[in-house]
Amino acid sequence: MQKLLAFIGFIFCALTLYLTSSNSGMKWIAQDRYSRIGALGADKYLYGDLYGLAYLSKFKQVKDTNFVPLPPIDQKAYPKSANLFILGDSYLYSFFTQDPRYYVGVNQVQFIRWSVANPVEIIPSKNKKNILLIESVERNMSGLFNLNSVKARLDKAEAANSKQNTRQKIAFFSSEIDRGIKKSLYHQSLEANIEFAWFNFGFLESLKEFKADFNLNFFGRVDKDVAISKDQHFLYLAETVNPTHAGSSFFEISEAQINGQVQQLNAIQEYYKAKGFDEVLFSIIPNPVSVLRTENRRENHLIQRIKSHPDFKGKLIDPSEGLSKNATSNFFTSDSHWNQRGAKIWLDQLNIRLKNSIYLGN
């Protein structure tokens, strides 16, 4: 009997290891778990991604996962004379479907995620106006808004044709071997995947909340990736509050760094205009903490400094001002994103820019 139980345990652990160390395995587990409601369903994102990290009962509010409604049909609608290509993150693809009816004057829209596994070749049309929109939330933009990073997502041909000298090829080959060895020995997300597979069930929710509430009330501790706002009404990603983290709204950014970022944006615009795009738009979504203003700390004003920089040659969609009006109504309390109302504010601002660009030429 002991040998049988040991064998069953071995098979169970081996199967778990196989599934949780592969993308396809985790995709299957996640789809099955999220399709269920109740004790055997997954509760990790039902109440917001930050609740799914912290499990604080105070912030347990069902998250509205609907897309932003399509705008009503306008009898005086502008002719569809442009193609829109979007490179963006979950602030967009979690709130808008890939439907051109969201956008003024757009005939066709193509969305590419920053997390795309392989570069996607975007080809401007010869008989339409072509607009490229590059978007990122503030906390990630410093690592994404550079020409190499954008080309790694949108330039399949160049990635395939890139040439390396002999020394580069040897270094790349060695690094790939090293990476392969490390990957075979340790999967960087394996621990989180196993935790999800074994413990992310609805029937364990009360136990997780009890533990989280106990740690907060008696030890003042919450999950390391989460921070509670000073007014106790919102959860934030801890990195956006921590002034030592580059993605924080309170991280000190020098003028030299701003200059360098502006140069990168200009380089992106110049490159893609040379490839046939009529206009390149940028959009930086502010961290919720910089809009909700709950922390009473000195901000770096990153977005505003880029937008007003004398050397910046592009156009930046900055929804900060619109989001700041009735700000608490524009963000989820237990999620790192804006809500549908906040997303609609951004969409309205983008459409004003598209209208000016497509029909007024400015």
CA distances from 223 to 140, 158, 194, 212, 240 (A): 21, 42, 18, 8, 14
- Could you tell me the pLDDT band of residue 204, with boundaries at 50, 70 and 90? low
- Could you tell me the pLDDT band of residue 262, with boundaries at 50, 70 and 90? very high
Report how far Cα 346 is from the mean position of its chain's Cα atoms.
15
Predicted pLDDT at 91: 96
- Could you tell me the pLDDT band of residue 349, with boundaries at 50, 70 and 90? very high
- Could you tell me the pLDDT band of residue 207, with boundaries at 50, 70 and 90? confident
Average pLDDT of span 163-174: 46
Predicted pLDDT at 126: 86
Predicted pLDDT at 188: 47
- Could you tell me the pLDDT band of residue 71, with boundaries at 50, 70 and 90? confident
Predicted pLDDT at 195: 54
Is a pLDDT exceeding 60 seen at residue 16?
A: no
Is a pLDDT exceeding 90 seen at residue 150?
A: yes
Given a contact cutoff of 8 angstroms between Cβ atoms, the answer to whether 310 and 243 are in contact is: no
Phi-psi domain of 227 (left: phi exceeds 0; alpha: psi -120 through 50; beta: other): beta
Predicted pLDDT at 265: 97
Candidate from 121-125, 272-276, 300-304, 315-319 with smallest mean pLDDT: 121-125
Collapsing DSSP to helix, strand or coil, 117 comes out as: coil
Average pLDDT of span 99-125: 92
Q: Are strands 315-317 and 129-137 parallel, antiparallel or unpaired?
A: unpaired
Q: Which helix (H) or strand (E) holds 173?
A: helix 166-185
- Could you tell me the pLDDT band of residue 185, with boundaries at 50, 70 and 90? very low
Model-level pTM? Answer: 0.81
User: When comparing pLDDT for 48 and 284, which is higher?
Assistant: 284
* Residue with token string 């205009």: 273
Query: Average per-residue pLDDT in the chain?
Result: 82
Is a pLDDT exceeding 70 seen at residue 22?
A: no
- Could you tell me the pLDDT band of residue 359, with boundaries at 50, 70 and 90? confident
Domain ranges of the chain: 82-167+244-360
- Closest C-alpha to 315, from 131, 96, 183: 131
Give the CATH fold of the 82-167+244-360 domain.
Rossmann fold (3.40.50)
User: When comparing pLDDT for 154 and 209, which is higher?
Assistant: 154
- Report residue 73 as tokens: 């049909």
Is a pLDDT exceeding 70 seen at residue 44?
A: no
Is a pLDDT exceeding 90 seen at residue 173?
A: no
